[in-house]
A and B are shown apart, each in its own frame.
Chain A
Amino acid sequence: MMQQPIEPGPAEPFVSPHPYATQRALERRAKQTADGARRETLLYLDGVTKSFDGFKAINKLSLVLQKGEMRAIIGPNGAGKTTMMDIITGKTKPDSGEVFFRGDVDLTRHDEAAIASLGIGRKFQKPTVFESLDVDENLRLSLAGSRSVFSALRHKRTVEEAAKIEAILATTRLTDKRHRLAADLSHGQKQWLEIGMLLAQDPELLLVDEPVAGMTDAETAETARLLREIAETRSVVVVEHDMHFVRELGVKVTCLHEGSVLSEGTLDHVSADPRVVEVYLGR
């Protein structure tokens, strides 16, 4: 597995009496170059395609996320944003293409639970928390640690665990709601609890789907602050419709359309792109 990163550059002329051998050698060299580049990335999607009953939800999508990067993903409805998240988290298997995490972990070979344990956390568009459990138990179940049934049966609450939960409650401003049932929280508080559950998982990469849907302006600003704080130590992918919020995040933006990347760059660059304008405003 350990290969020296190959310097990218013009390939040396390869001399072989057999044209097929030359072709294979060149292919191999190209693959090594690509693998070397891939190894440095956190998330690497190349040529990913997924169709549902003939409709291509994702069409030859390629996307690279560096370690520690925060990225905003925008795009009109049906652009494939949620399907992309489904593919990364193992909920959906792509028809073709490569999905790699940390350079060499092939995510298409793992299921949701394994991918979550690898260090990819996901927040859903509709806040999904465990309603019959209180805030504390919601976070406790999400805390990183063993995921075996028998260890859960024998599990005893520890001081470190309580301290971690305390810290997350403070970050997400839920300290006084600690023993409330999650069902009794307001919409915004559920969104934050879900972000808190993500933090408890201690993932390397967070996928956050529309975190500010249904939030007030003040909550939106607070959520942007929270995500920027999280992004200092982790990589984050945020899918969002709210341009105001994306501007507040101030990060690189990728615009998806019909399952592939339409435009990528700063928000100003992307929103000035005539193709993006056309997609958003219609022809």
Chain B
Amino acid sequence: MILARFLGPRVWLLVAALLAAAVLVPLSNLWLPADHPLHVPSHIVPLLGKYVCYALLALALDLVWGHVGILSLGHGAFFALGGYAMGMYLMRQIGPRGVYGNPVLPDFMVFLNWGELPWFWHGFDQFWFAALMVVLVPGLLAFVFGWFAFRSRVTGVYLSIITQALTYALLLAFFRNDMGFGGNNGLTDFKDILGFPIQAGTTRAALFAASCVALALGVLLVGAVTRSKLGSLMTAVRDAESRTRFIGWRPEYVKLFAFTVSAVMAGIAGALYVPQVGIINPGEFAPVNSIEVVVWAAIGGRGTILGPVVGALLVASSKSYFTAVAPDTWLFVLGGLFVFVTLFLPRGIIGTIDHGWTGWRERLKASRAAERGAGAPPAAPPQSPGDLPSPAE
């Protein structure tokens, strides 16, 4: 009960929906007969899992954009780094089953005539190590980047441009063959994850469930952070950063905290994404990807927790639909959607519903009060003599 009041009913509803999906979708896929109307086909499960990972990425971005006002145009970089850490684990799991049959070296290294494993590939044969790197690499990059950017008080559009440059720089670096990450082909041909065959229906269902649970945990985390005093402080930093300094806060640390947590969330989203799509390549670092994440959050409604999740699911699934049905129209649909939302729903879908709802309730309250006022005898004088005259509006 206390928890319900603490986070608000909406967060709990979203969490419940996600956990229900985590159970029901795999059940329906694995146990219902293929001709059953509620059967989820096997090719849809990883697709849904992919959308859930996108939703987690959008939620992560919204933690910094919607709640602290940092427009990051480089969150795709943290997503891709988490994905690469997972990809390196999956590559090491291939073992001698690669085309060249080398028990240690991944195929692309054999192809490049490398004699031994580069130092930064060591440890990735262990899942715990890879999982640690999924969290650590994006988190550390965000921390170091944020430390310099926020402490030198880089804000607004300048910060957005630097984040865009960050992801572009990583894109160029990962394209190079001698970086040791598979160049432009990236990492692919995965066989197992934790000993389970990656193509198997049960594995895919488990990965989907894991993605839903990760998103649910992310929602709880963002809900708890934004409801705490730190959440109020984040809003304060977003609205009047310099004012917070004059009451003794250091907004750079607030931003650094949010940015690092957000990058870790993005990294986890990337790590869950890679085994479900079966490939990670430098294309994930493309600046356009990061901008698309911003579009998801904007369409769903930033700063609403539910908004970015809904936005990501909606836009990503329509992307799949339109690119299959009419591939040429997708960019027009996306552009049109963005223009429409910016012009007519500047708060995003969820933000607009919220705003309309509060406005409607206030109007209802006002009209009820007016009715009561008309029926009742003249009310007491609005101000007792000791009160101040109301300040000029």
Contact = CB atoms under 8 A, between A and B. Distances in A.
A binds B: yes
A153 B235 contact: no
A53 B206 CA distance: 65
A141 B228 CA distance: 11
A189 B230 CA distance: 25
Contacts of B257: 149, 153
A155 B229 contact: yes
Interface stretch (A71-79, A127-135, A245-253, A261-269): A127-135
B239 A130 contact: yes
Nearest to A148: B253
A117 interface: yes
Contacts of A29: none
A130 B243 contact: yes
Contact of A147 (B228, B238, B249, B393): B249
B392 A141 contact: no
B324 interface: no
Nearest to A137: B232
B239 A216 contact: no
Interface stretch (B81-89, B162-170, B383-391): B383-391
A130 B242 CA distance: 11
Interface in B235-274: 235-236, 238-240, 242-250, 253-254, 257
A205 to B, nearest CB: 13
A6 interface: no
A235 interface: no
A141 B232 contact: yes
B47 interface: no
Nearest to B250: A113
B213 interface: no
Contact of B233 (A89, A111, A152, A216): A152
A131 B390 CA distance: 20
A113 B248 contact: yes
Interface hub of B246, B388, B393 (most chain A Cβ within 10 A): B246
A140 B249 contact: no
Nearest to A118: B248
Q: Most chain-A CB neighbours within 10 Å: which of B228, B233, B253, B393?
A: B233
B110 interface: no
A102 interface: no
B288 interface: no
B235 A132 contact: yes
A133 B391 contact: no
B235 A113 contact: no
Contacts of B228: 152-155
Given A186-B392, A216-B392, A140 B229 contact: yes
Contacts of A155: 228-230
Contacts of B244: 141
Given A116-B248, A141-B249, A153-B228, A186 B391 contact: yes
A91 B245 CA distance: 9
Contacts of A219: 388-389, 391-392
Contacts of A222: 388
A179 interface: no
A98 interface: no
Interface in A133-163: 133, 137, 140-142, 147-149, 152-155
Nearest to A156: B229
B225 interface: yes
**Interface size range on A against B:** 35 or more
Contacts of A149: 230, 233, 253-254, 257
Contacts of A133: 232, 235-236, 239
Nearest to A188: B391
Interface string A95-120: 00000000000000001110011000
Contacts of B250: 113, 147
Interface string B217-231: 000000001001110
Contact of A173 (B243, B388, B393): B388
A1 interface: no
A122 interface: yes
A49 interface: no
B247 A197 contact: yes
Contacts of B236: 130, 133, 141
Nearest to B244: A141
Interface string A154-181: 1100000000000000000100000000
B392 A201 contact: no
Contacts of A187: 391-393
Nearest to B393: A186
Given A113-B249, A116-B245, A186-B392, A128 B240 contact: yes
A133 B242 CA distance: 16
A197 B249 CA distance: 13
A186 B390 CA distance: 9
A153 B229 contact: yes
A267 to B, nearest CB: 26
Nearest to B257: A149
A11 interface: no
A128 B241 CA distance: 11
A91 B240 CA distance: 15
B384 to A, nearest CB: 12
Given A149-B254, A153-B229, A173-B388, 19 more contacts: A117-B248, A128-B243, A129-B240, A132-B239, A142-B247, A147-B249, A149-B233, A152-B228, A152-B230, A152-B233, A153-B225, A186-B391, A187-B393, A188-B391, A201-B248, A215-B391, A215-B392, A216-B389, A222-B388
CB-CB nearest 8 A-B residue pairs: A188-B391, A116-B248, A112-B245, A155-B229, A152-B230, A130-B236, A117-B248, A153-B230
Interface of B: 225, 228-230, 232-233, 235-236, 238-240, 242-250, 253-254, 257, 388-393
8 contacts: A112-B246, A124-B246, A140-B229, A141-B229, A141-B233, A154-B228, A197-B247, A215-B392
